[in-house]
Amino acid sequence: MISGDALGVALPPQPGARYPEAHSQRGRLVDRRRDIERPSPLPQHILSSTQFDRGFLDYLYTLTTTIRRFDKSREGLGYLQSLLPHKRAMLYFTQPSTRTFLSFQSACHVLGISASEIRDAATSSERKGESVEDSLRTFSSYVDLIIMRSPIAGLCERVAQLLDGTPRPVPIVNAGSGPDEHPTQALLDIYTLRRSLRLGGGIDGKTICMVGDLKRGRTVRSLARLLTNYDDVRIVFASPPAFRIAEDLRHDLSVSGLKFHETDDFEAAIADADAIYMTRIQDEYDAVGAEPVDTSRFHLTAAHLPRLKTDAVIMHPLPRRDELDVAIDDDPRAKYWRQERNGMWVRVALLTMLFGVDDRVQLPEL
């Protein structure tokens, strides 16, 4: 049998192989995916949070937690890096981004994928009049994966469909499509909720309060739709009347049977919630000369903390402004920095699934 050394790569761990620092506290480490079915078929693209079901989520999150174990040792990280060094990704981000860009770029590096980037359409041939579709088709000649953020709702789906009809259909990942969707943010939000609420029985049966610009915040739209995969979840949407959820989301949630309630009583909504998901006002979409909406009643401050449940979870997709007081950062219920870091690991897991190497990420039973 050929050895990993002979190939110059690390092969999957053999039965009995050990990752020195990967033991659990109890000295036993079990990969729970052995009881969870691998989704079939694996996704070809990541376009919308509506494409996932509970089985997919359970598999993805167990995989993510397994992958995080590999981060605990140099040997484990070296193994992850040996999985996809023959792959190249394009990060096409023509809307501002700090954490999503870095999170995807870092996820690529974790897996050995080399990543190139375009961060401004003005530096591409779009400036010469090339259509965005032609630009993206051009990338597909050079790379194996396109991760894209754009102000245009629906563009990812269009490009995925276009590329599927060509001889080089590379996967498309939606990293934010205008005010429409942000599916990978929703996936990491649920991972964070699931971990933070695990001692209280998980997400099923919980009340999640979403606050802020619910009309144009794409993270809210994707997360609310993803929550329909859980049982007896109730969403309370708290916002000024001008920023209530859009009609299409209201319709989809009603059809799904998920219980939800819309209110402008912020104080009552947060007191009842198992998780509070704060969001920023998306004023980049304001019409020129529009009167600003007063949102000051929807700011979470340190003064609210005593009124929240003692085991409540406070989240925010970030970046934040004054809707989330920095004085809250040290409260044990604040999970947004952890949420941000979780994002990279969920994205690593997603990329292994897109390239079909997720089944090579296995920990031995020690």
Give the residue with the Cβ less far from ligand NCD, 59 or 93. 93
Task: Confirm whether 352 is a catalytic residue.
Answer: no
280 binds ligand NCD (CB under 6 A): yes
Catalytic residue among 137, 182, 206, 280: 182
Nearest residue to 264 (alpha-carbon basis) of 211, 215, 224, 216 = 211
Of the candidates 23, 72, 88, 99, which one interacts with ligand NCD according to CB under 6 A? 99
215 binds ligand NCD (CB under 6 A): no
Give the residue with the Cβ less far from ligand NCD, 97 or 114. 97
Give the residue with the Cβ less far from ligand NCD, 78 or 319. 319
CA distance 216 to 246: 8
Chain length of the chain: 366
Nearest distance in Å: CB 272, ligand NCD: 24
Pairing of strands 88-93, 275-278: unpaired
Nearest distance in Å: CB 314, ligand NCD: 15
Nearest residue to 5 (alpha-carbon basis) of 68, 78, 113, 71 = 78
Q: How far is CA 346 from CA 53, 140, 209, 286, 295, in A?
A: 16, 24, 23, 32, 32
Nearest distance in Å: CB 234, ligand NCD: 23
Give the residue with the Cβ less far from ligand NCD, 53 or 329. 329
* Mutual angle of helices 99-110 and 336-354, in 10-degree steps: 50
Total residues contacting ligand NCD (rule CB under 6 A)? 10
Question: Which residues between 149 and 208 bind ligand NCD (CB under 6 A)?
Answer: 176, 182, 185
Task: Confirm whether 72 is a catalytic residue.
Answer: no
Catalytic residue among 45, 87, 149, 221: 149
Backbone torsions φ then ψ of 298, nearest 5 degrees? -115, 30
317 binds ligand NCD (CB under 6 A): yes
Nearest distance in Å: CB 206, ligand NCD: 22
Give the residue with the Cβ less far from ligand NCD, 100 or 352. 100
Q: Are 149 and 219 in contact (CB under 8 A)?
A: no
Nearest distance in Å: CB 278, ligand NCD: 10
Nearest distance in Å: CB 24, ligand NCD: 31
Q: Are 315 and 278 in contact (CB under 8 A)?
A: yes
100 binds ligand NCD (CB under 6 A): yes
Pairing of strands 88-93, 114-118: parallel
Tokens found for residue 264 = 């402008």
238 binds ligand NCD (CB under 6 A): no
Give the residue with the Cβ less far from ligand NCD, 91 or 163. 91
Backbone torsions φ then ψ of 116, nearest 5 degrees? -115, 170
Give residue 186's identity as a one-letter amino acid code. A
Residues 6+ apart with CB under 8 A from 200: 206, 274, 311
68 binds ligand NCD (CB under 6 A): no
Backbone torsions φ then ψ of 63, nearest 5 degrees? -60, -45
Task: Confirm whether 33 is a catalytic residue.
Answer: no
Residues 6+ apart with CB under 8 A from 5: none
Give the residue with the Cβ less far from ligand NCD, 82 or 100. 100
Task: Confirm whether 38 is a catalytic residue.
Answer: no
Q: Are 92 and 150 in contact (CB under 8 A)?
A: yes
Catalytic residue among 100, 207, 219, 295: 100
105 binds ligand NCD (CB under 6 A): no
219 binds ligand NCD (CB under 6 A): yes
Preceding omega of 41 cis (within 30 degrees of 0): yes
Catalytic residue among 34, 98, 128, 310: 128
Nearest distance in Å: CB 177, ligand NCD: 10
Task: Confirm whether 100 is a catalytic residue.
Answer: yes
Preceding omega of 319 cis (within 30 degrees of 0): yes
Q: What count of other Cβ atoms lies within 10 Å of the Cβ of residue 287?
A: 6
94 binds ligand NCD (CB under 6 A): no
Catalytic positions: 99-100, 128, 149, 182
- Which parts of this chain interact with ligand NCD (CB under 6 A)? 99-100, 176, 182, 185, 218-219, 280, 317-318
